[in-house]
Structure formats: structure tokens, C-alpha cells
Structure 1
Amino acid sequence: MSEQRVCVTVTDGVADVRLSRPEKRNALDPAMFAGLVTAGERLKGDRSVRVVVLSGEGPDFCAGLDFGAFRAMASGERLSATAQLPPSDGPAKAAGQRAAYAWAELPVPVIAAVRGNALGGGLQIALGADIRIVAPDARLSVMEVVWGLIPDMTGTQLLPELVGRDVAKELTLTGRVVTGEEAAALGLCTRTDPDPRGAALALAREIAGRNPHAVRAAKRLLDMAGRVDLAGGFAAEQAEIGALIGSPNQVEAVAANFEKRPPVFRDLP
């Protein structure tokens, strides 16, 4: 069951999602893959959710594949393929890809809070988030080449957008480990903080206090940047602003600013 591997609580519009296998450094096994996908699908349909914080129980974010998966590979077996999942209509089809890309597909911002190890598949899960706050001494690596493999959880497509094609190749072809501080310098994370989960929750609460319709619209537009032509992007921008101006939540944002009070926004119907 997903509850055994991934725990989800929602408070005041902030979904706190935690990989919950600390005794195994939150390593990925079929149940963890299924738990991540199930959690993502659940949150996708929850209109009360405004922001998601993704983190790991214990000292690590996620140390990558469970060692049992590497032993199974000797006989050509792929344990992620045994995860029990419903069919997907999105671009990600394999279980590992869905476990990482589920977070990119959410209509609300996702903030990954990373401490300890984020290796291989663990790093790729963090790449699915919109924002990554990382402990300065965290250890991050595109580690698959060390095991004679390639990143196959969407990392080959998402990593170059963050760090550039050349840096993505260097990290992928060497498997070298970088600290949180170097990750920030490379663009692999948004910023560092000695308490990444606390910082992520504080940021999430700030975002959750904004017009949820504007936040979702902004994520849609920013995700389009560089993936559609300029004419399409500009047209989408005008369509989104047209829908926002005069809407109840936008009117409330203006009123709250003038009246110097916290806004009270309505969640999506």
C-alpha cells in the first residue's frame, strides 16, 4: 500500500508528502514507486491543495534504487516494472518515470526539501519538483553510470533544462557526487538552507497565501517557456490574464491589499 511508503497530510492548502522508508534511506522498491505515483495522482485531483512539499523521513531524501533491484538486474529483471499501477495517459509510461514526473504534472507548485542523500532515482524524483531547497552538506548524484546504467526516470530530459546540456553530460557520464552548495552553483537546486524542510514549508505557506488561480496559471505559463513557440506562449499569457482579471480571487487580492488585511481566497470548485 502507498501509505506504507509515502505519507501525505494536507494542512491549510499545503500537502506534506514524505517518503517513509527511513531504515532503507527511502530507497526505491516497487512499493515506493507505486506509493509515489498514487500520492501524485491523489493530489492532482484535490482542489484544496495549493502547494506540495516533498521530502524524506529520516536523514536522507532518497538514496536511489533498493539494492535488491541491482541483484535482480543480473538476471535481466526490472523490479520497477512489477509495481502495480493503473494505465497512464501522460507522457511518462514506465513506473520509474511516473514516480518522478508525477510531481511535474501537478497543477500546483511542488517544493522538494532535500537533505542527506539524493542519488540516482532519488535525484530524478527531486528534478520533478518546481523548486528544490537543499541542505548545504547534502549529497546529490546522477549515479546510474556507476552501476552501468543510464538515468531512466525522466532525468535525461529534465536535467539539461536546469544545468545546461554540457553540465548534464558531465554529471551523467561521471556519476560524481556534488554537495548542496555545488548543486546551487550549478543550478541543480534553487537554493540551500540548513533546514530544507522548514524552509520549504515556510515557502509553501507563503505561496498558499496567494491567489490559487494565479499560482496555477503562473506554473502553466512558466512550464510552457522554451517548449512552445513565442507566439503560442504570448497568446497563452493573454488568455490566462484575461481569465484572472475581475475574477473573485483577483478582486479579493486587490481588496485585501488596499484594506491591509490577509486575503481570503476560494479554492477551485
Structure 2
Amino acid sequence: MGEQRVRVTIEDAVADVRLARPDKRNALDQAMFAGLVETGERLKHEPSVRAVVLSGEGPDFCAGLDFTEFRAMAGRGPAPELGAPSGGGPARTRGQRAAYVWAELPVPVIAAVRGNALGGGLQVALGADIRIVAPDARLSVLEVKWGLIPDMTGTQLLPELVGRDVAKELTFTGRIVRGEEAVELGLATRTDPDPLAAALALAKEIAARSPHSIRAAKRLLDQAGRVDLATGFAAEQAEIRTLIGSPNQVEAVTAAFEKRAPVFRD
């Protein structure tokens, strides 16, 4: 059921993942949550995938939680306590998993955002490593409008990108941020009039590099600021010792000197 909401094609080592509910602006219902989690978990174990592009079909990335979910909330009491983390990661609920599974992928994930990325939709985009947005895209931490808080990892990931004070302003007000301002704030990486084409081009460029060095770089950069410097420096040296002299590293050097495109092994 869940995967009907998310479509995936893999070509030239790039997984093109699309939220596929355009008639509802790719709004998040239980089937969409399931589809995002299932797709992300499956891609974790696809060794031939070297980069992922995450986007939405139709004019929007994701307009947030489906209205029927809000109506259901109004008739329920307090939410049940969280269970144990699924898959051994820090994210506990299905909603958190739908956003954070993209951060857990071992390869770079690029979100291509056009139209609306609101509330939970924005939090899904925050799980990506890079966000390319249309200049007129509309991004918002919209939960306050519904008397809620961002609960899909946003309260923890947003301050890393924009700073604690800006994160508070965006969360307390729920104001709409256009694409160009999103870049200025650090909420997005860069703008492009065709974010999907730009994201696919970047993914293909990354996929042409040594997959082992890209994965090592992602592991290290994801640790930065989350571990002490001694731990980070030690991890850096452990990764470089693994890479030096490895088949893909030798191929990178050989191809550069021979002025040809490298052929890497996954």
C-alpha cells in the first residue's frame, strides 16, 4: 500500500524518488508515511545506488499533513508513548522515520523542491543532504497553525541549518519563506528555476565519483559538530587509511593520469 504513494526509478546509479500523490499536493497520509519509510529502507541496501534525488510529482514537493489526519487528531486523546526505535536509529515514530530515513542513507540525498514544502513536507526535505529549491518555492514550519510542533525530527535538525534563533522565529510564527530567502537563511542550498533537473545533474556528477570516498565523506560530515574533535579527527584518519590504496582510489588516480573517465566498483 505504502509504495503506491512513492515511485522510484534507478538509472546510471541514481535513484529518482518521487512522492506520487499530486492530486493531493503529495500530502502526508499513513500510506505516504509507509511508502517513504519502506523506500528509504530499501535504498539503504541497494549497493548500486550512489546518489538519490527526492522530489514530488506535480507542482508541489509536499504540502504537509493530509487534512483528514488533522480531523482525526481532533477526535483523539493524547498520543500514546513512543515505542523503541525501529531499525536501531534515533527516530522512533513512523513520521520521524519518514523524514530521517533519508539522512540515514549511506549515499548523498538531494531534495528538489518546487511549490509547497510545508510542515511535515519541509521536515522530509530536511532529511536530505542538499536542498535545491525553485526561487518561488514556499517553505514553512507550519505546525503552529494547527496548534502543534514539528515532530518529524524538525526541532533537532532545523537549528543545525539556520541557527537556533532563526529556527525559533520560523517555528513560532509559521511564516512562509520563499526559495531565495530560504537560501539566505541556510534552509536551502541553492535555487534553480528547474530544481529537479539541477538535482538530477548534481546526482549524476556525484555518482561519477568513487562511491567509497563519497560514502566516507558523508559519514564524516554527518559527525561534524555532533562529536568532540578528538573523535572526529580519529574517524577522519580511520576513513583515509581505508581509502588509500583501495581499488577505487587507485582507479581514481590512474584515470586522472590517463585522462579518461574512471570506472568504479560499488
Asked whether the two chains share a fold, i.e. TM above 0.5, the reply is: yes
1:133-212 pair list within 5 angstroms = 133-212=132-211
> In structure 2, what residue type is equivalent to 1:120?
G
Question: For the residues of structure 2 that align with 1:76 and 1:173, how far apart are their CA atoms?
Answer: 24
C-alpha contact 1:132 1:191 (8 A) present in aligned 2 = yes
Question: For the residues of structure 2 that align with 1:44 and 1:240, how far apart are their CA atoms?
Answer: 20
> In structure 1, what residue type is equivalent to 2:186?
G
1:226 maps onto 2:221 in alignment: no
> In structure 2, what residue type is equivalent to 1:35?
G
Question: For the residues of structure 2 that align with 1:174 and 1:77, how far apart are their CA atoms?
Answer: 26
Query: Equivalent residue for 1:110?
Result: 109
Deviation, structure 1 residue 3: 2.8
| TM value normalised by structure 2 | 0.97
CA RMSD of aligned residues (A): 1.3
SS of corresponding position for 2:88:
coil
C-alpha contact 1:113 1:197 (8 A) present in aligned 2 = yes
Runs of 4+ in 1 over 4 A off after TM superposition: none
Deviation, structure 1 residue 88: 3.0
Structure 2: state its 5+ residue gaps.
none
Change (3 A) 1:78 1:199: farther
Question: For the residues of structure 1 that align with 2:59 and 2:239, how far apart are their CA atoms?
Answer: 41
C-alpha contact 1:5 1:21 (8 A) present in aligned 2 = yes
Question: For the residues of structure 2 that align with 1:115 and 1:178, how far apart are their CA atoms?
Answer: 12
Question: For the residues of structure 2 that align with 1:39 and 1:45, how far apart are their CA atoms?
Answer: 10
Structure 1: state its 5+ residue gaps.
none
| TM value normalised by structure 1 | 0.95
Deviations 1:204-233 (A, max 9, x none): 000000000000000000000000000000
C-alpha contact 2:131 2:190 (8 A) present in aligned 1 = yes
Deviations 1:148-199 (A, max 9, x none): 0000000000000000000000000000001001000000000000000000
SS of corresponding position for 1:55:
strand
C-alpha contact 1:69 1:78 (8 A) present in aligned 2 = no
C-alpha contact 1:72 1:78 (8 A) present in aligned 2 = no
Query: Equivalent residue for 2:17?
Result: 17
Q: Which shifted more, 66-75 or 54-63?
A: 66-75
Question: For the residues of structure 1 that align with 2:87 and 2:120, how far apart are their CA atoms?
Answer: 20
Query: Equivalent residue for 1:54?
Result: 54
Identity rate, percent: 80
Question: For the residues of structure 2 that align with 1:15 and 1:77, how far apart are their CA atoms?
Answer: 40
SS of corresponding position for 2:35:
helix
Question: For the residues of structure 2 that align with 1:8 and 1:91, how far apart are their CA atoms?
Answer: 25
Deviation, structure 1 residue 77: 6.4
Question: For the residues of structure 2 that align with 1:180 and 1:191, how far apart are their CA atoms?
Answer: 8
Q: Which shifted more, 87-96 or 123-132?
A: 87-96
C-alpha contact 2:3 2:38 (8 A) present in aligned 1 = no
> In structure 2, what residue type is equivalent to 1:147?
W
